[in-house]
Amino acid sequence: MRKQRNILLLGGSGFIGKQLAFALANRGWQVTVPSRRPHRNRELLVHPNIRLLEANITDSNELNKLCEGQQAVINLVGILHERRKGDFRRYHVDFIKAVVEACSDGGIKRLLHVSALGADQATGSSLYLRSKGEGENLLHTFGQRGLHVTSFQPSVVFGKDDDFINRFAGILKLFFGYFPLACPNSKLAPVYVGDLVEKMVNAIDNRETYAKRYTVCGPEVFTLRQILELIIDTLQLPVRVMPLNNGLSRLQALILQNLPGKLFTMDNYRSLQTENVCTDGDHCETSLRQYLKGLPAMFGNKHNYDSFRREYPQPGNPEEHL
């Protein structure tokens, strides 16, 4: 019988992390998920192979302790906007240094990391993308000595409990008439969380993935406007998208970044100036269009269910779906 293996999932209480925790646990890994607020993530405890505990992973002593006895570490910690100045550097760069050190102190040989599509230390269009790129570079540079690193750069990720489709759906439900949308022509290739998670789980034991960086995209390319129209169509909402031009998009970001919740910031605006699509590599299979179509089916709408079944899966050129 194969010896039980342990894995530490940093950021395992987040949207992607939870899905990954269950996928790993189902494959027999003993998964440790540290969280600042474990009481909010109790659903993880239904799986006997998942251990959820309260920890401050930014404290190097606690991090070192968490690494004891682990065979692998996966890092998903990341933020989309700064609460305090310097947070991008703290969580996307400094924290990575601490993780690499903790892995090396703990004799851990395998490290997987989730970066972001467009992450580039030198040319990233936003602080988010530049800090993500810097962290990733650091990992691949210092990770070479005895630590096998693989990183993933997904486009925007969708699935149950995501903060993308769900957030827009929640906001759109509050609108009647027109919804003013910033950066309507930004291009994205939404990737299904299950597809990303499968790639990651399969990579852990695959030596060919060592020292590699993978871009991860879904099968379709949409503009942000098209995605919102899909959501509106799916939920049959009485609202239409009002695309904002560049000046008004910036103005919206300037206003919203100063309001509680920071729904949209100037840095988010800058990230959206980079096309979030893959130029090479395999594209994942699950279609956002089909996924959204399938949602009402799950709530008993027979017409939607029948058309979902007829059309899924949909082979061929993804662009044809648009």
Instruction: Kindly state the smallest distance separating residue 92's Cβ from ligand NAP, in Å.
Output: 8
Instruction: Kindly state the smallest distance separating residue 30's Cβ from ligand NAP, in Å.
Output: 18
Nearer to ligand NAP, 78 or 218 (CB): 78
Site for ligand NAP contains 52 (CB under 6 A): no
Site for ligand NAP contains 63 (CB under 6 A): no
Nearer to ligand NAP, 168 or 308 (CB): 168
Site for ligand NAP contains 39 (CB under 6 A): no
Q: Which amino acid is at 52?
A: L
Q: Which of 6, 7, 17, 200 binds ligand NAP (CB under 6 A)?
A: 17
Nearer to ligand NAP, 79 or 298 (CB): 79
End-to-end Cα separation, the chain, in angstroms: 49
SS3 readout for the chain: CCCCCEEEEECCCCHHHHHHHHHHHHCCCEEEEEECCHHHHHHHHHCCCEEEEECCCCCHHHHHHHHCCCCEEEECCCCCCCCCCCHHHHHHHHHHHHHHHHHHHHCCCEEEEECCCCCCCCCCCCHHHHHHHHHHHHHHHHCCCCCEEEEEEECCEECCCCCCHHHHHHHHCCCCEEEEECCCCCEECCEEHHHHHHHHHHHCCCHHHCCEEEEEECCCCEEHHHHHHHHHHHHCCCEEEEECCHHHHHHHHHHHCCCCCCCCCHHHHHHCCCCECCCCCCECCCCHHHHHHHHHHHCCCHHHHHHHHHHCCCCCCHHHHC
Each residue 182-221 as x (binds ligand NAP by CB under 6 A) or -, in order, gives ----------------------------------------
Q: Which of 157, 197, 217, 230 binds ligand NAP (CB under 6 A)?
A: 157
Q: Which of 24, 76, 181, 231 binds ligand NAP (CB under 6 A)?
A: 76
Nearer to ligand NAP, 76 or 172 (CB): 76
Total residues binding ligand NAP (CB under 6 A) = 23
Site for ligand NAP contains 114 (CB under 6 A): yes
Instruction: Kindly state the smallest distance separating residue 238's Cβ from ligand NAP, in Å.
Output: 28
Q: Which of 6, 7, 8, 15 binds ligand NAP (CB under 6 A)?
A: 15
Q: Which of 8, 21, 63, 116 binds ligand NAP (CB under 6 A)?
A: 116
Residues in contact with ligand NAP by CB under 6 A are: 11, 13-17, 35-37, 57-58, 76-79, 91, 114, 116, 154, 156-157, 163-164
